[in-house]
Structure formats: C-alpha cells, structure tokens
Amino acid sequence: MPGHSRIWIYPASRTLTPEEVNTTEKHLTDFCNSWKAHGMPLKTSFTIAYNRFIILAADEKAASASGCSIDSSVHAIQYISNLLQVDFFDRSLIPFLKEGKIDCYALKDLKTFFSKGELGSGDQTFHLLAATKEEWESKGVLSVADSWLSRYLPGTV
C-alpha cells in the first residue's frame, strides 16, 4: 500500500497467539477482498503489527472509504474480537514497548506510574491515531516525551 493510504489501528487487549494471528489473517483477507464503498471495490490491505495491533489500510486515491464501508470494517473487527475473546476497542489501555515486549497500563493509573518512575519520558509508546501508513511507519513508535502522554510526566502542566 502506498504511504498516503488511510489506516485504522485496532489495539488488542493482549498479545495474540500464533493461532489467533492466523485466524485473524484469514478473516481479514476475506474481508479486504470484499470491502467496498458504494459498490466500488476498495484497494485495501492489513497487517498485524507486534502480534498486538490490527492495522487496516485503504488507498483512497482509488476509491474513498465511506461511512458505511468504515462501519463494515468495524463490524469485521468486532466479529474477530468476539471470535477470539480479545477486546480491540478498549482505548483506556495504553501500550508501551518495554524490553521488546508490549505492556499495557490503564490510562487512569498513568500519573501514578510516571510519578513513581515506573514509566518515564524515554519509554516508548505507540501512535495509535496515525492516519496514514506513512505516519505509522515514521511515528508509530515514539518516546513518551514526543507523544500526547508527555502531559502525564512529573513537572509538566
């Protein structure tokens, strides 16, 4: 997919097993092969990053994703979520990349983790609101200091 492709990122509440990745890939392949907007096929793809994030992509220069087509993608993710018993919609869990492993922390507890030094400005987190493939590739993993989480750092306003 080209860098300008629009993306949607769905973080899993836990790491997917190899079997779950295979199941997810099968369902997403079927979905992407049939994904349409106003009856027009979309040029789409997906990836499963870090066995933790489903990233759907659509090249909107070919055809734009519409509200209904985006809704259908959400339904596809909900189906996978129910099938695997994994939550892909809980935005209150914030993922951090620590020692090559992804750990999630509850948003409500971040201030405490930062004040105790369990998390710091140099820790890495993910830019889950990246809008394009290019943005994900260049800023998908970034330090806390360079992310919206910097507001939780001690001494910041």
Q: What is the pLDDT of residues 100-152, one digit of tens each?
A: 899 999 999 999 999 999 999 999 999 999 999 999 999 999 999 999 999 98
Tell me the HSE value of 11 on the side-chain side, using a 13 A CA sphere.
19
* pLDDT for 157 beyond 60: no
- Global pTM? 0.91
94 has a pLDDT exceeding 80: yes
pLDDT at 18 over 80: yes
**pLDDT for residue 63:** 74
> What gap in Å lies between CA 145 and CA 123, rounded to an integer?
8
- Edge-to-edge strands of the sheet including 6-11? 6-11, 53-58, 44-49
At residue 2, the pLDDT reads: 87
The domain limits of the chain are: 6-84, 93-127+140-152
19: its two tokens: 């079997």
Backbone angles phi, psi at 105, to 5 degrees: -125, 140
Q: What one-character DSSP code corresponds to residue 131? A: -
- What pLDDT, on the 0 to 100 scale, is given for residue 156? 62
Residues 6+ apart with CB under 8 A from 75: none
The per-residue pLDDT for range 31-69, each reduced to its tens digit, is 999 988 888 888 999 999 999 999 999 998 877 887 888
